[in-house]
Each structure stands twice: as C-alpha cells, then as structure tokens.
C-alpha cells in the first residue's frame, strides 16, 4: 500500500547544486495521493474547533484551501511582500542568504479565532515562524501547524516547538 511519501519525487540539485528538492506536485497531481494527504492532514483535528485555516505561500494555498473546505471554515493566505492588495501587516525573517518578508491582510483574523497553519514543507521554520508571528499579532490563537514533509536536519520543528506550537507532519526526508 502506498504512503504519502511514495507520491513525492526528489529532484537532485534543484534549485542549486547539493539540494535534494522534495517535489509535492507529483502528490498533488495524483487524485489518490492528494486525497490521502488531505485526509491525513485533517485527521488530528477531527472534532476540534478551528475558525480559519492559514496557508503559507505558495503550496500552502493548495493544501489550506482543500483543508478549509473540508472543515467548512474560512481560508486566509499569507503571502510574500507586495502580493496582497489593501492594508497588510508584515513580518521579516532570515533566509540562508538575506531576508524575506511575509504579509497578511490586517483584517483577515479576528482576536480569539482558532487557527490551523498549513504548508507543504517544514525546513528551517523561518516562513512558518513569520506566519505564526503575523497571526499572533492579529490576536489569533494557533491550534496547530501541519505539514506534509519535515526535513529534520534543518531544525524547523524545534524552532516551532520552541515557540509553543504543536507540529504535525505526514513524512520526513533526510538531508537538505
């Protein structure tokens, strides 16, 4: 029987030499694999009150939209700087070389709303941590974070857990 991990392909030396890119587009393209991933991501939250799902750019939008639909709750995107119209709040975070900025609409989450944060991959945790800070600045209460893939060697899980987050993952891959 196939697992979610079996649907994910690895592309060697992308986007740079030495990187093992974990490509979830093959998982998304397969109807059984995609359903399996969404169902497994939903499972820990059965019967739990969640008000909104937040998806992190960009593959988190695909997962977050499907999960929000299944939970019958709203979906909120957190995007890279300059992509959202209207009033936003921003959070900068460090990348391997430089800095990036994530943004959310300043009215996307109301104080006290219970939020599930979703993305495809947890590496260093920088993007997720920035998203969590944005949600918390708006008064959202994060129920959990959910990812398809964890790259344990890069330490993202520990970063999020040190922030007090519950972290759920479907599979792990060794290496960066």
Active centre residues (catalytic): 59, 96
Do 36 and 43 meet the contact criterion of CB atoms below 8 Å apart? no
d(CA 65, CA 73): 10
* Count of residues in the chain: 176
Do 77 and 59 meet the contact criterion of CB atoms below 8 Å apart? no
d(CA 24, CA 126): 20
d(CA 1, CA 54): 31
Do 169 and 142 meet the contact criterion of CB atoms below 8 Å apart? no
Of all helices (H) and strands (E), which one includes residue 160? Answer: helix 156-162
Which residues have CB under 8 Å from 32's CB, separation 6+?
2
Tokens of 92: 């900068």
């Amino acid at each position: 029987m196939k697992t979610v991990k079996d649907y994910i392909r690895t592309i060697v030396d992308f986007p740079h030499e030495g990187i093992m890119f974990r490509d979830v587009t093959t998982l998304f393209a397969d109807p059984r694999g995609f359903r399996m991933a969404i169902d497994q991501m939903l499972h820990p939250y059965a019967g739990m009150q969640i008000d909104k799902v937040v998806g992190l750019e960009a593959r988190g939008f695909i997962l977050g939209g499907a999960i929000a639909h299944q939970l019958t709750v709203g979906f909120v995107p957190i995007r890279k700087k300059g992509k959202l119209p209207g009033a936003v709040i921003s959070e900068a975070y460090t990348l391997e070389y430089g800095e990036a900025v994530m943004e959310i609409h300043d009215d996307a989450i109301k104080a006290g709303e219970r939020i599930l944060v979703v993305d495809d991959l947890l590496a260093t945790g920088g993007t997720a941590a920035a998203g969590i800070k944005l949600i918390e600045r708006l008064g959202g209460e994060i129920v959990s974070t959910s990812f398809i893939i964890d790259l344990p060697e890069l330490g993202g899980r520990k970063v999020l857990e040190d922030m007090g987050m519950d972290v759920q993952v479907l599979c792990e891959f060794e290496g960066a």
